[in-house]
């Protein structure tokens, strides 16, 4: 599988939109792009020097990365990152899961997921507090969690940092 700079840029933009604390990772990624290229792109230089930029300005810089988007790949990279940073069944993780759920609801038409993945995602992220509090027997939670973790693990190797 080939993951392009645009896939990574979209991954970082989604991560910022949902509140993942990855600003320093973006700067490190851009620094590495500059170090490994004799003629770095202006957008990479702008990202590498974005320490004091707002989240929205940084997202704008990430959107400037050329090439074609494939949010399906970028979204799976997000699942991989979340599977490393968060435990899907802890109450303190509900805000990030709800943010991702909200992002998915707005952008789902741009993402082509297979039905099994989409079902697991919607069960896990659609109003997690309500679902886990009133709908599931606690023994069912790990099954859905594991389905997402398996998908995430397939993409962990492609995470940029």
The secondary structure of 75-119 as a DSSP string is HHHHHHHHHHH--TT-GGGHHHHHHHHHHHHHHGGG----HHHHH
Vertex 83: Cα angle to 140 and 23 (nearest 5)? 145
Tell me the percentage of the chain whose pLDDT exceeds 70. Answer: 71
Average pLDDT over residues 80-102: 73
Tell me the C-alpha distance between 14 and 17, whole Å: 5
Instruction: Note if the pTM is more than 0.75.
Output: yes
**Per residue in 13-58, pLDDT tens?**
999 999 998 999 999 999 999 999 999 999 999 999 999 999 999 9
Contact 31, 48 (CB under 8 A): yes
pLDDT score at 72:
85
Domains of the chain, by residue range, sit at 5-63, 71-156
């Amino acid at each position: 599988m080939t993951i392009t700079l645009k896939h990574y840029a979209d991954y970082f933009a989604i991560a910022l939109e949902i509140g993942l604390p990855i600003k320093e990772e973006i700067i490190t990624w851009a620094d590495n792009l500059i170090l490994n290229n004799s003629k770095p792109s202006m957008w990479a230089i702008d990202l590498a020097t974005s320490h004091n930029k707002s989240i929205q300005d940084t997202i704008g810089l990430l959107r400037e990365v050329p090439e074609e988007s494939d949010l399906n790949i970028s979204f799976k990279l997000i699942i991989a990152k979340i599977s490393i940073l968060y435990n899907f069944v802890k109450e303190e993780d509900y805000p990030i899961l709800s943010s991702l759920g909200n992002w998915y609801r707005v952008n789902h038409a741009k993402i082509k997921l297979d039905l099994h993945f989409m079902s697991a995602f919607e069960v896990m992220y659609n109003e997690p507090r309500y679902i886990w509090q009133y709908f599931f027997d606690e023994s069912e939670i790990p099954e859905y969690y594991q389905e997402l973790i398996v998908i995430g693990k397939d993409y962990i190797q492609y995470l940029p940092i």
